């Protein structure tokens, strides 16, 4: 009995000492589903708004890398998955920077069909690890308009044609993925030729949340 009370008192003393020392209790495990937003600067933009809106419910992993093509994204995703656990859901949307390299700069490896193929490879890598994948139809570019030079309007039309063909290529492909349509055609939502205003990012976030709510109930 004496030993029992000695052990009890020592245990209580140790507990009070740790508490007084301000040693934090272990944090509870984060049980939120992880949502990987993976692409270029467009994704970097909207994912901040998505994080602000849904952070309480979802752990948003922002992996938007400015200027990245679908080729760069494929290589980066391989490295990412080698070093990180697979997310619950991934949202992937490429095309804009490929369009710049292919339609405007004439780099022949950048075609709508290759963008679709690269995105499908990313989707396959993720789904094989149990991730639910949403592929995004490319956002588009700000429409041509009066007041711009003929060359600028010509380039915008070239880019838009490339992105339209990319949507068709994605639509024709088969795979275990869902679609989010990122297309926005109203110029008022564009901050420049490629990126969204706050209101435009809000539209993208609404579309993503509507899609993800169906799989993350």
In a domain, residue 24? The reply is no
Give the containing element (helix H, strand E) for 184.
Answer: none
Contacts of 70 (CB under 8 A, 6+ apart): 94, 95, 98, 114, 115, 118, 119
In a domain, residue 97? The reply is yes
**pLDDT tens digit sequence for 51-80:** 999 999 999 999 999 999 999 999 999 999
CA distances from 169 to 11, 57, 115 (A): 67, 34, 8
As a whole number, mean pLDDT of residues 200-212 equals 97
What integer pLDDT is reported at residue 138 of this predicted model? 94
Range in 33-47, 81-95, 110-124, 173-187 with the lowest mean pLDDT: 173-187
The residue range of the domain holding 94 is: 31-213
In a domain, residue 68? The reply is yes
The more confidently predicted of residues 16 and 153 is 153
Q: What is the pLDDT confidence band of residue 25, given thresholds at 50, 70 and 90? A: low
In a domain, residue 69? The reply is yes
Q: What is the CA radius of gyration of the chain?
A: 24
Residue 84's domain is classified under what CATH number? 3.40.50.1110
Q: What is the dihedral of CA 180, 184, 185, 189, to 10 degrees?
A: 180
In a domain, residue 64? The reply is yes
As a whole number, mean pLDDT of residues 111-122 equals 97
What integer pLDDT is reported at residue 23 of this predicted model? 61
What integer pLDDT is reported at residue 65 of this predicted model? 96
As a whole number, mean pLDDT of residues 23-49 equals 89
What integer pLDDT is reported at residue 20 of this predicted model? 47
Instruction: Give pTM, 2 decimals.
Output: 0.86
In a domain, residue 79? The reply is yes
Domain count, the chain: 1
Give strand pairing partners of 190: 196
Count other C-beta atoms under 10 Å from residue 212's C-beta.
23
Q: Two tokens at 138? A: 């490319």
In a domain, residue 2? The reply is no
In a domain, residue 19? The reply is no
């Amino acid at each position: 009995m004496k030993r029992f009370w000695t052990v009890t008192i020592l245990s209580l003393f140790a507990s009070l000492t740790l508490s007084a020392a301000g040693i934090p209790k272990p944090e509870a495990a984060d049980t939120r589903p992880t949502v990987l937003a993976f692409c270029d600067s467009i994704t970097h933009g909207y994912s901040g708004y998505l994080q602000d809106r849904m952070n309480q419910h979802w752990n948003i992993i922002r992996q938007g890398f400015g200027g990245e093509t679908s080729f760069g994204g494929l290589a980066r995703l391989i490295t990412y998955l080698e070093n990180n656990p697979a997310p619950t859901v991934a949202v992937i949307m490429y095309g804009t920077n490929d369009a710049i390299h292919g339609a405007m700069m004439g780099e022949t490896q950048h075609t709508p069909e290759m963008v679709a193929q690269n995105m499908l490879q990313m989707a396959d890598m993720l789904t094989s690890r149990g991730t639910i994948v949403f592929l995004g139809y490319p956002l588009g570019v700000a429409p041509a308009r009066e007041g711009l030079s003929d060359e600028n309007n010509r380039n915008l039309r070239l880019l838009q044609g490339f992105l339209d063909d990319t949507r068709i290529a994605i639509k024709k492909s088969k795979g275990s993925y869902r679609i989010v349509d990122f297309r926005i055609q109203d110029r008022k939502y564009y901050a420049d030729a490629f990126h969204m205003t706050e209101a435009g990012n809000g539209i993208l976030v609404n579309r993503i949340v509507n899609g993800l709510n169906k799989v993350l109930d």
